[in-house]
Structure formats: C-alpha cells, structure tokens
Chain A
Amino acid sequence: MKTGDLVSCTIGGKMLEAVYITERDERAVLKLSSGYNIGVPISEVRHIRDGEERKGFEPPVVQDSKLPELAIISTGGTIASRVDYRTGAVTSRSTADEIISAIPRLATIGRFRTRQPFSILSENMKPSMWIELARCIYDEIQAGARGVIVTHGTDTMAYSASAISFMLDTPVPIIFVGSQRSADRPSSDNVMNALCSAAVASANLGEVAICMHGTVNDDYCAVHRATRVRKMHTSRRDAFQSIGTEPIGRITYPDLEISLQADAIGRGDQVLTLRDAMEEKCALISYYPGMDPAILDAYASCRGLVIAGTGLGHVGTVLMERIRELVCNGTTIVMTTQCLQGRVCDRVYDTGRDLLRAGVIEGEDMLPETALVKLMWVLGQTDETGEIRRLMQENLKGEIIRRSVYGL
C-alpha cells in the first residue's frame, strides 16, 4: 500500500473507507473522510484501489521586472518545511521557489532568483558548507543581486551568518532569515520574517545580518549584526537577541518601514571580496567546576581552541598545565566568557594572569560562538602567531565592541 490509496477497515463492527497515509509503529495510519488520522493494526486494513496522483497546489510565480533583483539562497530549516509522512516529523524539504509561492507578497518587494546549494537541518551544518554558501552568495552578488536572503534553520543560523560575515566583504545586504514556529502553521513567523528580510535586503545596508521577530508580537523584525547575535530561547519567536549592543535596525510589520542605526554599514561602502579559507580544526569548549584536564587531550590536534571560561575568563588551575602544553604545541587558545554579557579580563586574578602567561588570547567581549568562527577564519588566513593574535583582538566585522557602554 502507498500513500493516497483507498483502503477499508472495520471499527466497532462497522466498515470504514479511508485513505492510507503511512505505516507507523506497526500500525497503518489512515485518514478518514472526517479528516482525522487513526492508527489501526495493519492486518485489519484491506486495499480497495490505488490512489490518484495529486498535483501540489502551486500558483505560478509572477515577477515584476522593475523591482530590484534579490537572490534567495535556501539551505533548509523551518522557513520552508513540510510534513514527513514516514516519521510524522516536520523536516525541511521545500525549494526556494516554493517560498515565493507560499509568500506571494514577496513579489511586490523584489524580483527573485533562487538557489539551493543544499537542504539540511541546521544542526547538520558544517564549516565546509559555510564556504560553499559564501561562494554561492559571492556569485549571486557578482551576477547583480541587489541583496541576498539566506533562509536557514535557526539552531546554527548565528554561526553561519558570522562565518559569512568574516569570509565576505559585501557591498549589498546579506540577510539570514528563518522561523521559530513551523511554516505549516497559520501562526508561523515565517511570512513576517521573510517579508521583513526582503525589505532589508533591498535597503541601504552593506553587511551580513539576521532578520527575525523583534518581540513575540507580529509587530516588527529586528536586524541583528551577524557577529553579535545569539539564539537565546529554544522556541520563542523573538529568540534572536543582539548581545551587548542594540540591533542595527528594525522593520515594522505589515507596513515594512525600515529604520537603520547610524553605525550600520551602508550599501556600497565595501568592495565585494571573498576570502573563503577556513581552518576546520578548531573547537569550542565550556569550562565547568571539576572539569577533567584529560578532556583537553582530545583537543591536542586542534589548531585553535576557544574556551568559554567562567566570569572574567577563567578555568580551574588544574587545567593550566595542559593549556601551556597546547599553546607550546601551536594551538591558538582564545578565552571568552560563559556570562555572554561583558568583557574578558585576565589581568584581575592570578588565574587570569597565569592564562595570559601561558599564551592564551583574551577574546574581549566576543561571543564564544563568534570567537570560534572567527578563529577558524583567522587560522585560514595566516599561520603567523603575532598576526593571529592581532586579528583575534581586532574588531573586523563588529564582533568586538571596544567600549562597554552602559545601558545595553
């Protein structure tokens, strides 16, 4: 039996006709004419006849040639999801074309080209895919895209956006967007996020950003600088928050009015450049009380290691010896903080001073995840220790804010 076939089964002595959907946990899942699904023992299901092929509902996409050319690069995730009959789970399966047909208003904002370099759940993202994505975006901008929208699963969106930020100097907006609540639900945040991201992608902006709900209401989207943003909630629409700084802009909904901060990089301020070498042998570890120093042995082959330390940037003294060894063997170690908010300072306590003497680099106020991505990129650009240290401590893409301003 296959999905869509007409079948029958008997419940309470009455025969029912139903549509076969799938098999699950040794039960046949049937859809009744009332619309309900039920699971019944497979042995009780009788096949009546094969189902008719149904064509999906796909209204034609009409584009206005006078509107700016925007590229949608689709990587998967909940901005474009559908139901998987096999597992009953929501998975990313839709192509970029389907996004436009699902959100027709997009066609009033721009003229879209779509590309799908891969379609994955964002937890399966890897640095090699960041590189592929960066090249794909570069090609689109070279081909004339006035803005790029990258649809992405929210789990690792901030890592990807940050990676693109370091790899590309961009003259046009590169906007990452996703949805926190599945696109199949009428309340999904996908439509508002997508429309707002299209609006920003055609705005006077020249950097990589994430555009997602600013609040739990459908009132505005916040535009976050890629290197300062973090997913701070598992499920809320406003999960993405700029840490230690304000978002660089907002777009109200449904009128799509854009306002950008003065420090946002403008369209055309940078020349399109791609530096896509990344050192994948890097890791991010979080220190915790009682951490076994032997754990660090597993990272001996890493060229770079970011530690999310406690407080101002500390680890237990027992780790010091191994850290010294790692640095001596050529591993770059960058200290960040689990506090997420605030700046690392390893000059206040002895532990910190010991870490500095061991050669650990203070990661300033960089987010641990951003520091990891940056370290991969920096190690991809240079082998020279002094240069690595200089680049890691210099603000390249807004990842380091030199002053900790009160009120944020």
Chain B
Amino acid sequence: MDYKVLGLTAGIEIHQQLDTAEKLYCRCPTILRNIDERNGEIRRYLRATVSEMGGIDRAAEEEMKQMRFFSYYAYDTTCLVENDDEPPTPMNPEALQITLTIAKMLLMTPISQVHTMRKMVIDGSNTTGFQRTALVAMNGIAGGDCAIESICLEEEAAQRVTDKTFSLDRLGIPLVEITTAPCMHTPEEVKEIAEYIGMILRSTRKVKRGLGTIRQDVNISIRDGARVEIKGVQELDLIPEVVSREVERQVSLLAIREELRSRSAEVPRGKIDVTDLFSSTKSKVLKKAPCIMAATLKGFAGIVGREIQPGRRLGSEMSDYAKKCGVGGLFHTDELPAYGVTEEEVAALRERMLADDGDCVIIVSGTEEQASCAIRQALKRAGMALEGIPEETRKMLPEGCSAYMRPLPGAARMYPETDVLPVEITEEMMDAIKLPELLTDVAARFTEELGIDGALARHIAYSDRLPTFEKAIAAGIKPALAARTLISTLRELSRDGVDCGRVPDEMLILLLVRVNKGEVAKEALPDILRALAGGASLEEAILSVGPTFSVKDLECLIEEIVTERAEFIRDRGMAALGPVMGVVMKEVRGRIDGQIVADILKRSIEKVI
C-alpha cells in the first residue's frame, strides 16, 4: 500500500503506569493481586449524568443502552477510595514529580495550575463512573520532529475479570498518558515514535515494567476516511500491523460505500418479528431466543459478508453495534445457511422479508427489548456504510484487527473533580528536576566504560534487569559475567518456563559475587537460578547442584584420569585434550569453572607427552 497516496495520518497515545509507592488519589500500595486473595466484593450500578456544559456524552449514552450491574473485588491492599466510598486524597506528589520529569525530557511546558478532572467512563472499569485525570504539561517534541501535544496524569482503571466483574487492585495506580500530534505517515514511523517515547519513559527508572504496564492507543485516518482510535495495543511490534490493517479496513469501507451507492442501496427503518419462522429450528442460538427480529438491507447482498480486514466483514461491524444491546451478535443471509439455520428457513425468511437476490436480510435474537435495540443498532451501522466510515473508538483484537467499542468521545465527558484541589507548578519546581540519563546514553556508556558490545549494551540498558546489572557492576562483578547471566541466562530460563522475576536483586548479586570469586562455577548458574526461582535459599540452591570442586580436588581427579589414559594420550598428543576433557567434565560439570579444568588438564597432558 502506498501510504502517501492514501493520505495516512496517525498519532499515538501512550499510557504508562508509574512505579510509585502509593496510588494517585489514595494511600494504597500500587501492587497487583491474584483474584484468589480478594477479601470482599461490592456490587453497583452506574449511570451517565449531565456534565457541566449540559448534555450527556454520546459515548456514555452508548454504554447506557443497557442498565449494567457491576461487581468489584476488594483486597487488603485496596480501600474505601477504590470502593468510591471515601473522597480521594490530594494528588500523589511522587507521581506528579515523575510526570513533570517526563514533561521536561520531552521539552514540554507545564500548566501553571493543574486541575484534576473527572472523565466519564461508565463501562464499569471505574467504581466512580469516571476516571480522574489531570493535564500536566503541553507542547513538546519527541525524537527530533514529532510534536507531543500533552501529558496527563491519570488513575489506572480497574482490571476486568469477566464481563461485568472487575478487580480493584489496579484501580488508582498512577498512569501518564502522552499524546502525540498526528504527525506520523507510515506504520513503521508509528512504531519508531512509540519506541522512542517508551525509551524516555523507562529512562526515568520510575515506571512499572512488564505486560500491561504500558499500552498504546493509535489514532488512524486516511484521506476521505475517518479518525479511528484503536485502544490497547500492548506490543510495540504489533503497531505497524494494527496501522496497516486499519488502513485496509478504511480502504475497503470506502470501496463498499461506492458500490452501495452505485447499487442505490437502502437501509430500512422498520423491523419485523420473525420468531415464528424459527419455531422448530436446529440453530442453538435461535432456538432458545424468546424473540427474533429481522430487517432487509436493500442492495446489500454480498456486501455484508465482504471481508474488510482479515477475518472481519461488514457484518462483523454491524454485529459489534448490535452487541451493545446485550445480544450475542447477528446473522445475515450472506453467510446463511449456516450455524444450524437451514436453506428452507433462509428461503422462508427472504420471502417474509420481501427480499430479492440483491438484498441482505439480517436477524438478531434475544428478549424483545434486546432484539429491537440490536436491530436498531445494526441498521444504524448499515446506514453508516452508505456514508463512509464512522468515527469510532475500537479495541484491538489479538492479531491486529479491531472491533467497535463506542463512538469517539466528545469533550463533554469531562468535568471538574471537585474533591481534589488544584496543584500549582512553579518554575522552581521545574528547575529543581534533574533529568535522568537516557537509556540510549546508558548503553553508550556501557560500551565505552565496560567494553560491552553495542547490541548487548543496548539490550542491558532496555532490560528490566538494568538496576540489577548496575548493582552487580558496583559490587565488582565482571561485566561480561553480569551481562551474560542477567540477560542471556535469565531469558533462556524464562523460555523454559522458569520465572526468575521473584528472585530478589540482592540474591542474584550475592550469587554472582560467589561466581566471581570462583566459589561457584558459572556453568552451574542455570541450575542454581532454577532452584532459586523454585523458592530455595541461596545456600540451598548452590548445594543442590552438588558440592563445589576445589582446585586441589580437581588436580587429584585429573591426575587419576590422565594416568589411567596415559597410553591414549601419548598416542594422540595434544589432540587427546578434547576427549579427556569430556571425561573430566562428566565428573565435575557445574561444580567448577570449565576454564580452570581446561588449564589444569592441559598442563597435566603436557607432562605426560
């Protein structure tokens, strides 16, 4: 695809959790819990309210189509603030400090008086029904030429456990949201900027690491298309795929619009109850439905079933809209007969609906209320196909496609958080902020000072184990040993399903010190780490791979082996080193450094020959 010709414009919003001691608006720790550890559950309804400028936000209104009852899991690490049963504390100064540091790194101008706002979110992910968020700084630059529009400090939402159940441990963790200008024009460029901002964020050393702690939302549009926001892209490598698939979707939808117009396609207003047609159906979905509604899309035949993204059709988009009414989805005649619906039933349906070959009939099932609502929603989306592309917030699907979530929210979804006083940002505060060393500079320093290869140095600097590496170097451990262990060995173990994430830094460093001194063989590291990951103490772990071999013991052992094989050695000369080394290593592997073995063995063989 020629993105220039298509007029691709993209911007990103990066959401990064901060690694603070306490949450943004309460004093709970910022730790995630296992849902089995919950100690309470609360159940609530949410409803949209009128905002300060009047009117209910269209995104919130969409969510209101169903009255929803939500459940929240509470823990001994959550409090009444998360439960929305107590007013918030003042904004966490540590979180604000980190945000201002990031703002300064991105050459942004801070807002002189920061106001906390309530951003309406009634999907249940916030017990209050809003997310607290504050605009902290504006107008900066990333990576030379990408304009940064704003940085906001906001509270993380609760984690969804199931459809209507949320876990409160994550709610309230500080999160910065960085919004770029729509200054990117290729999928690769989007990834590069995201990568660069990610590096800036991690350079503060005050952000959370690991899956789900950073999320990218991508705003994409093409010429004649519409602005679409795709939420929740967690992996950087998927960004180009998400962008190109969205471009593909918009291109397909524009083509569909042209075709529908040329066919003079029409979307009806009404719906027809066709429950009786399916009274003895074999379709599991339709059989149990108290009500089935249908509508005929004039001139839509073949188009509802047309692919617009890999595995996604126009019908999928209509189905997404219908699902907002609580139905499972919709069927359309482009895909029927299927799913237990027979050809006869389709024929009867077409007849009842007065549909000819050029038309497509859609059906939905549920309670009468759900089905009526779902048909209305599906028809609304069908009507949009005649107009072009709707502005939407969409959620990313696993492979890089996306599904409709809600309309793009308007400005009406924010109003002041009156329980939190504004915070003044002074010039003195900004001047006092020391800029952290960029990770790219850290990597360069490792190469220069420690002689570590460029790629590996970058790898260390970007890794979660960077602080451990630095502590190890400070403890006098050889850089190569520290790098190999903390990067390669741990990664290999993780591929084998051994998670060393819970092994404390201090223990890793003590272990490396022992290796450095020659008390523990570096060959034994994988096995020792495996034991540590399993919960063993350092001593237990070292002992588990067998007692270490002293140099003296080794010399005795080698003498014994060399004497036994003296004839063989004399025959082969130095070429015997390899095979005899194998015999020795079989006895001592993991208990003494291989290099020491090789040295002693070499000397011993030289004596014999």
Q: Which A residues have a C-beta under 8 Å from some C-beta of B?
A: 11-14, 16, 24-25, 27, 29, 31-41, 54-57, 83-85, 88-90, 102, 180-188, 191-192, 216-219, 234-237, 254
Q: Is the CB of A235 within 8 A of B87?
A: yes
Alpha-carbon separation in the docked complex, A188 to B47 (Å): 9
Q: Is the CB of A57 within 8 A of B416?
A: no
Q: Is the CB of B113 within 8 A of A56?
A: no
Q: Mark B45-69, 1 if CB is under 8 A from A, else 0.
A: 1111110111110001000000101
Q: Do A35 and B46 contact each other (CB < 8 Å), given the known contacts A12-B140, A27-B113?
A: no
Residues in B whose Cβ lies below 8 Å from that of A183? 49
Q: Is the CB of A216 within 8 A of B135?
A: no
Q: Mark B405-425, 1 if CB is under 8 A from A, else 0.
A: 000001111111011011010
Q: How far is the CB of B26 from chain A (nearest CB, A)?
A: 12
Alpha-carbon separation in the docked complex, A217 to B135 (Å): 33
A39-B114, A235-B85 given; 15 more Cβ-contact pairs under 8 Å: A14-B138, A35-B410, A36-B134, A40-B112, A56-B50, A57-B50, A83-B416, A83-B418, A102-B50, A181-B85, A186-B47, A188-B49, A216-B42, A235-B80, A254-B45
Contact of A25 among B113, B128, B133 (CB under 8 A): B113
Residues in A whose Cβ lies below 8 Å from that of B167? none
Q: How far is the CB of A158 from chain B (nearest CB, A)?
A: 19
When A and B form their complex, which 3 residue pairs have the shortest distance between CB atoms, in order from nearest?
A: A186-B129, A39-B113, A12-B139
Contact of B111 among A11, A85, A180, A187 (CB under 8 A): A11
Q: Which B residues have a C-beta under 8 Å from some C-beta of A?
A: 42-50, 52-56, 60, 67, 69, 80, 83-87, 108-109, 111-115, 117-120, 122, 127-130, 133-135, 138-140, 150, 152, 410-416, 418-419, 421-422, 424
Alpha-carbon separation in the docked complex, A56 to B50 (Å): 9
Alpha-carbon separation in the docked complex, A113 to B387 (Å): 47
Residues in B whose Cβ lies below 8 Å from that of A90? 418-419
A and B contact pairs by CB, cutoff 8 A, 9 listed: A11-B111, A12-B109, A35-B413, A37-B115, A57-B56, A187-B129, A216-B83, A218-B43, A218-B69
Alpha-carbon separation in the docked complex, A84 to B418 (Å): 9
A contact face: mostly helix, strand, loop, or mixed? loop
Q: How far is the CB of B370 from chain A (nearest CB, A)?
A: 17
Alpha-carbon separation in the docked complex, A203 to B342 (Å): 53
Contact of A236 among B80, B150, B421 (CB under 8 A): B80
Alpha-carbon separation in the docked complex, A186 to B129 (Å): 5
Q: Do A186 and B117 contact each other (CB < 8 Å), given the known contacts A40-B111, A88-B418?
A: no
Q: How far is the CB of A41 from chain B (nearest CB, A)?
A: 6
Q: How far is the CB of B429 from chain A (nearest CB, A)?
A: 15
Alpha-carbon separation in the docked complex, A83 to B44 (Å): 24
Contact of A186 among B43, B49, B150, B411 (CB under 8 A): B49
Q: Do A83 and B128 contact each other (CB < 8 Å), given the known contacts A217-B44, A219-B43, A254-B45?
A: no
Q: Is the CB of A37 within 8 A of B117?
A: yes
Alpha-carbon separation in the docked complex, A38 to B56 (Å): 22
Residues in B whose Cβ lies below 8 Å from that of A41? 112
For residue A55, which residue of chain B has the nearest CB? Answer: B54
Residues in A whose Cβ lies below 8 Å from that of B411? 31-35
Q: Is the CB of B115 within 8 A of A39?
A: yes
Residues in A whose Cβ lies below 8 Å from that of B133? 36
Residues in A whose Cβ lies below 8 Å from that of B53? 54
Most buried by B among A88, A186, A187, A191: A186
Alpha-carbon separation in the docked complex, A217 to B44 (Å): 6
For residue A40, which residue of chain B has the nearest CB? Answer: B112
For residue A56, which residue of chain B has the nearest CB? Answer: B54
Q: Is the CB of B55 within 8 A of A57?
A: yes
Residues in B whose Cβ lies below 8 Å from that of A27? 112-113, 422
Q: Is the CB of A83 within 8 A of B45?
A: no
For residue B84, which residue of chain A has the nearest CB? Answer: A187
Q: Do A25 and B422 contact each other (CB < 8 Å), given the known contacts A34-B411, A39-B112?
A: yes
Q: Is the CB of B422 within 8 A of A24?
A: yes
Residues in A whose Cβ lies below 8 Å from that of B119? 35
Residues in B whose Cβ lies below 8 Å from that of A14? 138-139
Residues in B whose Cβ lies below 8 Å from that of A57? 50, 54-56
Alpha-carbon separation in the docked complex, A25 to B112 (Å): 11
Q: Is the CB of A218 within 8 A of B45?
A: yes
Residues in B whose Cβ lies below 8 Å from that of A12? 108-109, 138-140
Alpha-carbon separation in the docked complex, A14 to B42 (Å): 46
Q: How far is the CB of A312 from chain B (nearest CB, A)?
A: 33
Residues in B whose Cβ lies below 8 Å from that of A254? 45, 67
Q: How far is the CB of B13 from chain A (nearest CB, A)?
A: 12
Q: Is the CB of B135 within 8 A of A36?
A: yes
Q: How far is the CB of A29 from chain B (nearest CB, A)?
A: 7
Q: How far is the CB of B493 from chain A (nearest CB, A)?
A: 45
Residues in A whose Cβ lies below 8 Å from that of B83? 216
Residues in B whose Cβ lies below 8 Å from that of A34? 135, 150, 411, 414
Q: Is the CB of A185 within 8 A of B109?
A: no
Residues in B whose Cβ lies below 8 Å from that of A192? 45
Q: Do A236 and B122 contact each other (CB < 8 Å), given the known contacts A37-B416, A184-B415, A254-B45?
A: no
Alpha-carbon separation in the docked complex, A33 to B411 (Å): 6
Q: How far is the CB of A195 from chain B (nearest CB, A)?
A: 11
Alpha-carbon separation in the docked complex, A11 to B425 (Å): 14
Alpha-carbon separation in the docked complex, A32 to B114 (Å): 13
Most buried by B among A40, A180, A235, A254: A235
Alpha-carbon separation in the docked complex, A221 to B45 (Å): 14
